[in-house]
Structure 1
Amino acid sequence: MNNASQTRILAVVLAVATVAACVLAAMNFDRESGLDVPTDGIWWVEAATGLRAERVPVLSPGHRAGIRTGDILLSVDDQPTPRVAPLVREMFRSGIWAHATYSILRPVPQSIDLNGATRLDIQVILEPKDRSINQGLRFIALVYLCIGIYVLFRRWTAPKSVHFYVFCLASFVLYSFRSTGEPGTFDWFIYWGNMAAQALQPALFLHFAVSFSDNFASDQRNRLGRRIGCVLLYLPGVFLIALQYTAIRFWSATEVLLHRLDQIALGYLALYYVIAAVVFRFRYRWAESALERQQLKWLTRGTLIAVTPFTLLYVIPYLADWSVNSQIAKAAGLSLVVLPLTFSWAIVRYRLMDVDLIFKRGVTYTLATASLVGVYFGIIALTGEIVHTRLSNLGVWGLLAAIIIAGIVFDPLKRAIQARVDRVFDQKRFDYRETLVEFGRGINAQTDLRALLDSIVERLPQTLLVTRVAVFLASESEGSFTPRHFDLAASHGLTNLHSAELHSLDVRFLDFDRPGANNHIFLENPQQVLRLPEAQRQSAGRLDLNYYLPCRVANREGAGTRTVAVIGLGRTDDGDFLSSEDMELLESLAGYIGIAIQNAQLYRRLEQKITEFESLKEFHENIVESINIGVFAVDLEDRIESWNTQMEGMYSKSRTEVLRQPISDVLPPDFVARFNSVRDEHGTHTLYKFRLMLPNGNVRVANIAIAPLVTRNFVAVGRIILVDDITDRIQLEAQLTQAEKLSSIGLLAAGVAHEVNTPLAVISSYTQMLSKHMRDDERLAPVLEKITQQTFRASEIVNGLLNFSRTSGAEFASLNLNELLRDTVTLLEHQFKTAQIRVETNFDPHLARIHGNQGKLQQVILNLMLNAKDAMFGTTNATLKIATFNGAGRVMVRIQDSGNGIEKEHLHRIYDPFFTTKTKPQEGEHKGTGLGLAVSYGIMQEHAGKIHVESEIGIGTAFQLEFPSSGTRPAAIAETPRSESEVAERKAMHV
């Protein structure tokens, strides 16, 4: 028997089976719709004494009547019910919404037998059985059947299409044949049809999964082994049917047996589905053909999406006898509808390049021809009638006129019909192509090359539905282009390439500028382009692009064109090749894209030049703005042309205020006079230490350089003036000179102190000798004692002066701040008395020792005390409070005066070098250098300490020094007790 006869027989068999299944399914649906099945909603199972209520769902008719789990049913309406079948028969006899009397035995709680059980008669109102799940299953059955018919008619010769249709037909029978339980041959036929489909459908599904890749296999022995294995897949289904028949024929028909058989059938179904999903997954991983991988990808995903919820939410709970919400179970069952949808997508083999195009054009010309024939015969009939009745004299000329009119009408009619067919058959793609045409027209407005390339690789996949797009740009070298200069600039879908591999691609086969080059390159299999060298073949395989189109523009010099870019495209989402119509559209669009890329490149080069110019200009401006010298330029008419930031700060005038203003309106007259005096002289002129009057009244000293401003051709266009403010430098020089004087005075004071010590020692010695000889003289002895005390006091002052003037090293030692403070107060005692300043001290006797340099710390304390004395100059009740106390691991010294205080705007600057508020000292004060607090701050940082200041105008200033404690205390006073009053007094003083 030849293949044609086999195909016809198979088609007839499938048609008869399909019609028979549809007729039986319709009759089954009609019977079920007209039959109401009464139920009490309880799952009864056979027990030794009757039917036991295994599960009583909440709100079921039995539950509302009062039946509970574990109750034993003896009879219904006085009819014994030892099995489920008599119970069903009695429920049918009673009918829906009828009262049925249930005689039950309710066992005693915790009892294992019926001893002491209570007999109850319960009235149960039977309700119609909820069979809505059957309608959902019938919906799934219709989906399977429709998709199977669509696949069969669309791709009859496609591999596995017949197998898939048989699977869909078996699924239709499985989900549409629902036994009603009504006695009769029809219901019996429906029941066994469902059983046969239940055994056959999972096996067909798994067979489909196992043998799906047979058409890709080349090893015949392997293919034969697969077929034998596929036959064995149907044995469990045969066993399942035999088990069902044996149970009905030979075993006792109990509810438990029926439930177990249903569990076995459902477990068999789910197991085959899960195995098929695993098989699809492994085949997808091992597949070598791109077509096979594309199909298996959809099969794997669809199977997992359908099988996972069905198995987890329906099958497993059913096998484990778990109670599951009915809505969840229905939703899990409806997930199986995903299977045929994904399978139909995979079975309909990917279309060839021009199949759809030929089909559409064929329909177009057929309809156009039919229309032409209709118009022709209509015109002939109309013309014959006219000629016969009114224009009998025209004769054959009327017929010729009708033929000419038909020919004229043919072309616009054909175009109208073709456009209508395009809209009907490919609406989405047609709209996309219109969008692409509009994109090609407006693409030249895009000047950003990166945005242009991104829009190309984004729009082409949307329009042509291709998965991979790449744009290669040609880099120019000495006015010529070679294939090796094409670099991948933008892509879509090339996820298999890493950034490092992009630079190693050899794409020299993209040479469209050689003589005789085609308008595009088509590679049917990019992985096996045998005509290319090895390196280029590997690059083509990695890119996996099937089409390459050049984007050409006119040469800059001479005739001809050159390629500025190449567009590469892969297959469509369906695995199809592009049609010839697509290629014509792309070739036209490539010209627009080439011009747009050339314009974007030119615009980018222009932007680069502008950016370089702006950067150079900004660099020069930054130099002028960042230099710490005032710079401005004037033109030949002495109008200011530039004015840098330093001049803005010096003159407090922005550049917008002074630009284009005459120099005489901005700068003082004395400078303008000196500027005019050197106008006619050549070269650079410098005004040393020129006193420049500012608009705010201040006077600054500056070195001013005036130089000519010339062009590259040495043509003078104005003058540039550099103003170097040296006021602070002069002040610094003066302060350094003063510091040298103070140093010399310190050395002189040290020498004087040494000289004073000698006579003081002589005076002290003779006074002590006289005191011993005149010890009994009541008049002279007290006088000599006072002289001795004063000499000791004078000696202490001199020794303190010597210690302060002595050059101290950098050695750190353990210090007692109380002793250091006492020595410093003694040194300044005379000055405080002269200034009428009362000194109050409150030293903590338990003060911890610190680690530091005595000379440097004495300098800090001396600076603070002298500043406090100057701040209290001329004030009444001047008081200087000095206190020490311990903190948390810290030693504190607080020096507080009752002077005028420091203004808030000056507080953040008091530690800056050379900052002082004593620029105009009053009588009795001295001019400050601005170095005391700066040096003190540095010494505190050197000792890892901190210095804090608190000041309020009219109240005074308090400086607090913090030092890290060395952890030891003076031994002489370590055990001295501290009273509460002493602590309170010290805290009050510190506040």
Structure 2
Amino acid sequence: MNTSSQTRILAIALALATLAACVLAAINFEQERGYEVPTDGIWWTEVAGGLQAQRVPKPSPGHRAGIRTGDILISIDDHQTTRLAVLVREMFRSGAWAHATYSILRPPSNSDSLKNATPLTIQVILEPKDRSINQGLRFIALVYLCIGIYVLFRRWTAPKSTHFYVFCLVSFVLYAFKYTGELDTFDQIIYWCNIAAGALQPALFLHFAFSFAGDHPAVKHARLRRKIFSSLLYIPGIFLIVLQYAAIRYWSATELLHHRLDQIAVGYLALYYVIAAVVFRFRYRRADTALERQQLKWLTRGTLLAVTPFTLLYAIPYMADWNVPDLQTKIAGLCLVFLPLTFSWAIVRYRLMDVDLIFKRGVTYTLATAALVGVYFGIVALTGEMVHNRLSNLGVWGLLVAIIIAGIAFEPLKRAIQARVDRVFDQKRLDYRETLVEFGRSLNSQTDLRTLLDSIVEQLPQTLLVTRVAVFLASDESATRHFDLAASHGLTNLQEADLDALDVRFLDFDRPGAHNHIFLENPQQVLRLPEPQRATAGRLDLNYYLPCRVANREGGGTRTVAIIGLGRTDDGDFLSSEDMELLETLAGYIGIAIQNARLYQRLEQKITEFESLKEFHENIVESINVGVFAVDLDGRIESWNTEMETMYAKTRSAVLHQPVSDVFSADFVARFNAVREEQGTHTLYKFRLALPNGETRVANIAIAPLVTRNFVAVGRIVLVDDITDRIQLEAQLTQSEKLSSIGLLAAGVAHEVNTPLAVISSYTQMLTKHMRDDDRLAPVLEKITQQTFRASEIVNGLLNFSRTSGSEFTTVDLNELLRDTIILLDHQFRTAQIRVETNLDPQLARIHGNPGKLQQVILNLMLNAKDAMFGMNNAMLRVATFNGPGRVFVRIQDTGAGIEREHLNRIYDPFFTTKTKPQDGAHKGTGLGLAVSYGIIQEHAGKIHVESEVGVGTAFQLEFPASATRPLTTAAPSSIRLQDADKGTIHA
């Protein structure tokens, strides 16, 4: 979540919490006004036999009725009072100003024994409980809330202002929510809100004390320790809430227990207040800057002014069970109002040493306004008197008209007097405003950096009447970024040789938690700096350093491009808060002006570089032997390089801003629209692209998203690589591979088939003629004839395979294609003692492809399997086919030596082969078989997968899209999918 969203959510949460607190407080106040709580004014505690009077204040109803300290209350209105709750219930039943009959046992003097106690019956007139203190506390609550809202709206970005507002809101709940005793649901809510506020308010106050004006560590571990310590401050408050709940839920509800819990809460409040005062005092003594010392001085004094009377006059006597007058208690409570007043003053006024300036300005404007009012009424009175005495015949209406005319005529005079007063009493602010406008104009119009720096060091002394000014300019962005003195005024003690020795690393305004300026009260003695930096501060003798920040070009935040240093005024005084506000505003303008001047100096160079780079990129795009064009989000062509002009015979001007559908064929437009909304790069392998002249070219087309620097898609970029010539070369390589395979086959066939075939053919013809009627030999001759035919089929199949096939795609039955290939290699498998096991799905769907190319793939895979199992015992080749969802699968698996894991990613690379040293009887590989096979599979929109494990074997699985000309059986036989469960699974 970003910062603006967090601020918005926080503002909404605070607004809702404030509204809810105000509504509940208003309802609670109305409920308290309409509900009287009867009381006898005595503090009773539970003892054996009844309730004992611990305190009987003199003006209370009980004291007037004759009850004394130590008396034991047995019953009220004939109801036994074993618990204080019974007494309270009976008093509520009787009501205010009613007579209640108290049964009292009064022990003898100097004795607590009830044996000789005197029984008494006393009539007590119950009076409404004095809750006037609640109105004073509600006044404090309103003060807290008003000041908190004022601080929040006045200085939302001030340090700890939000924390302070939460503290004020919780304090409002603590002092405004009062439990009435009506015992309904709303009263319970008020009670527990008051308990929670009493537990959290001291912790918030102490947390504020620890974090106000404190250092903000940049180290992650230090920040974590600070957060953990801050969280620990709230544990006692949470414990108090749990203690209150346990006392009500599980413990005996006695008055003594309630009093002890109140004492703990008051002690907890006073202890945290005292610790906070100590923390403020400690931070005040360790503060480095004059600003922090002034702020913490006010905070320390205000906290002591509020905490000391509260602790001494109320908290300590209450915890010690001392009897104190009500007036003293009220004074101690009202002293707490100094806390929000002091804190609001410290936060709103960023520089507290200007209090006299604020006071003088307020008095000045008050006197000026009073003078204007006096002059106004004086003129009106004089006009009325003249009309009444000299023009008495006009009567009352004439007098009214004269007064109105005088009032209207006085308005221009009043504005003139007001402007004169403003200029007389606030000349400095007007001069500042005029200077700011004039200086801003000069900065915006200046583009030369040297002239700009000279203007800064000349005008600042004239405006602020300071004696020394310096401008430190940031070096070019690099790993060792530093600041150099670029211009100065009044630094006469610095020589040219001293500039290289200046160490201004203490001017680090880009670190986390850096302030808007640095104030050095005594530059000659800055003890917190290392020796070289301390010496630099002494040589410069500047009291103020302000950063000139600009926004980062990338990411968020700002960076410092220059630093302005200033000394004291001509009279030796420090600058006021108005001076600092003006300088902070000017620093922003100066930073932008310096940045603009630097940018202006590099603008010509950047333009030249940009033009060269643009021309270079255009040359690259125009020179590459690949067609490149871009399409926007609306499907219109936005760029068109020279290769596309040559390929399509259309000029760039003819196709720019034209829809893709008007330039390309329907097949390409359909494939392009199918992937244009998808992420990533899509490649159309060996796509047949129809050209306007009727020619068809084969191309690899890559369609990639065209994105900006911020990864926002603005269109698609298409690369068209014409591979028609490459396809022809691949066809030649395929034919060469075929011829190589045919050569191997032909050698075996010629050696093993031709000679026996000739002998068998001759003898078969002779014997057939002589033994035609012999029933015993005729079947034998028939078998010999069949074998002759079979050998002829093998030779014919070999010849057919050697012929060059076309590129036409037809419906192909893979089962038939596999059977023909196995028959073609049957002799080689038997010679190599390889057993072939087939599991062909009879319901296998047909595919759309080229039979000759597909047979080439199958032949390559089977020959590779034969070579991998050469010379092995129990060698077996498993061939299986099965259907999938819209797909057809062919699996060819051997039990050979397997492929090394590091070679699996390279087996499809052209001319890569592992058969560099074949065994006797095997042939040396060319490294083109799998590469050609991979291309054929891609051409058929299929996929090829390999699984191999050294010593176990290799399995190739081919995947093709099923043709729609024949219904599919989607469920493959389990014997095919798990065909190797009994012999071990092959892993890649």
Query: What is the TM-score when the length of structure 1 is the normalising length?
Result: 0.40
When Rg is computed on C-alpha atoms for both structures, the one with the higher figure is: 1
